[in-house]
Amino acid sequence: MISFSPPRMDQKIVDAVVDTLYSGWITTGPKTKRFEKNLTQYGGHKITLCVSSASAGLELMLRWFGVKPGDEVIVPAYTYSATANVVVHCGARVVFVDAGTDFNIDSEAIKKAITPRTKVIMPVDIAGWPCDYETINAIVSEPAIKSMFCAESDEQKKLGRILVLSDAAHSIGAGYHGKKAGNLTDITVYSFHAVKNLTTAEGGAVCLNLPESFDHDQIYKELNAKSLHGQTKDALAKTQIGSWRYDIIEPGYKYNMTDIQAAMGLVELERYDNDMLVRRKAIFDRYAAAFTQYPWAQVPEYERAGRYSSYHVFLLRIRNIDETMRDEIIREIFNREVAVNVHFVPLPMMTYYREAGYHIEDYPVAFDNYSREISLPVYYDLTNEMVDTVVKAVVEAVELTLDN
């Protein structure tokens, strides 16, 4: 069986983890701090805070910005539940916007969804393909949109406009007009979950890139405390001689990353561009070359005009099929010992959101993308022979289903 997305595990990762286990310090400490510095250097943004997951990072930033009941947050209808759930946790209203044909939020449709209650837009780089940030960043700075913005918290007053909080759970390493994801908008959050391109088993990072008027070192301190129960000192600082006393300045959260996770991340990041992404791109190229010859295949965009993907998963669409036929094709692919997936079932189709009053009929492009989509495996250890096996399984399954 060809599996869908096993993590890359080798002696380097094992050694880094074992070294940490015996180091005398296994929770947040020197390795997490080093990983943060290396991530900042890698992304080119201003400062990084490592956290326990992307979900934690996104929620932390919504709360930092003061998102609360009565506010609205714009979220793509086509994403994983984490993007919208964190908005619900803050008591704010999720405003879904339809997808474009490239799977990402339709940047032109965002404008129509903005109201005086809109506090944040959360674009998602689906499968690693960066959103149209030029348009999104321009929208939030338009005078008419800015004058509609009702600033309440100090952070909102300082920014004076809607915050762009990018969910880059899939897109570390992706690029856009000479910049990397992390540096494309106000705040970006990566995920290092087990199935992601760069993994720490579970984990995430908040990349801060706010305007110069914000004191990023000060915000880092604030967020660090917020991610550790509002404690003024982390566990390591408290072990220093005479440093046991600490204060709680707010009822914060428990969102910190451990040094065991960071140890994995340090190894992964060091070889990410020159090794991991090279292999992922080669897999994308091989799938694209194989499928473009079939008229029924719609190959995803992954490189265009200064924009390139992090090659997270290959979102193949089959032309002129419906959801039932897609499910039948997936069954046939599994029968050929190949694991595939669907990214994503649009959130308005999920029970919670449906019962909250959202209708998938209002998001026709998201539904069309979903109903014809099959996610193909992409990971470091997937060999060319395995890619060819996946292609063969997909071609056989599609042709069998289309013939019936």
Ligand X SMILES: Cc1ncc(COP(=O)(O)O)c(C=O)c1O
**CA-to-CA distance for 211 and 339, rounded, in angstroms?**
44
Q: Give, as ranges, the residues between 173 and 192 that touch ligand X (CB under 6 A).
A: 191
DSSP 317-366: EETT--HHHHHHHHHHHHHTTB--B-S---GGGSHHHHHTT--GGG-HHH
Do 141 and 167 contact (CB within 8 A), yes or no? no
- Verify binding: residue 83, ligand X, rule CB under 6 A: yes
Segment contacting ligand X (CB under 6 A): 50-58, 62-70, 221-229, 385-393?
Answer: 50-58
- Verify binding: residue 281, ligand X, rule CB under 6 A: no
Q: What is the dihedral of CA 349, 350, 353, 357, to 10 degrees?
A: 40
Segment contacting ligand X (CB under 6 A): 53-61, 63-71, 219-227, 357-365?
Answer: 53-61
Query: Binding string, 115-134, against ligand X, x = CB under 6 A?
Result: ---------x----------
Cα 7 to Cα 35, 171, 268, distances in angstroms: 19, 16, 11
Segment contacting ligand X (CB under 6 A): 78-86, 235-243, 267-275, 297-305?
Answer: 78-86
Query: Binding string, 10-49, against ligand X, x = CB under 6 A?
Result: ----------------------------------------
Q: Give, as ranges, the residues between 150 and 169 that touch ligand X (CB under 6 A).
A: 167, 169
CB of 124 to ligand X, least distance (A): 5
Report the residue number, 123 or 252, with the smaller CB distance to ligand X: 123
CB of 192 to ligand X, least distance (A): 7
Report the residue number, 208 or 290, with the smaller CB distance to ligand X: 208
**CA-to-CA distance for 280 and 173, rounded, in angstroms?**
11
What b/e sequence results for 337-368 when a residue is b if at least 16 CB atoms lie within 10 Å of its CB, and e otherwise?
A: ebbbbebbbbbbbbeebeeeebebeebebbbe
CB of 340 to ligand X, least distance (A): 16
Report the residue number, 79 or 375, with the smaller CB distance to ligand X: 79
14: tokens are: 């094992």
Do 120 and 384 contact (CB within 8 A), yes or no? no
CB of 111 to ligand X, least distance (A): 22
How close are the terminal C-alpha atoms of the chain, in Å? 26
Alpha helices for 244-304 (secondary structure H)? 259-270, 277-291
CB of 227 to ligand X, least distance (A): 14
Query: Binding string, 192-211, against ligand X, x = CB under 6 A?
Result: -x----------x-------
Interacting residue ranges for ligand X, rule: CB under 6 A:
53-55, 79-80, 82-83, 124, 167, 169, 191, 193, 204
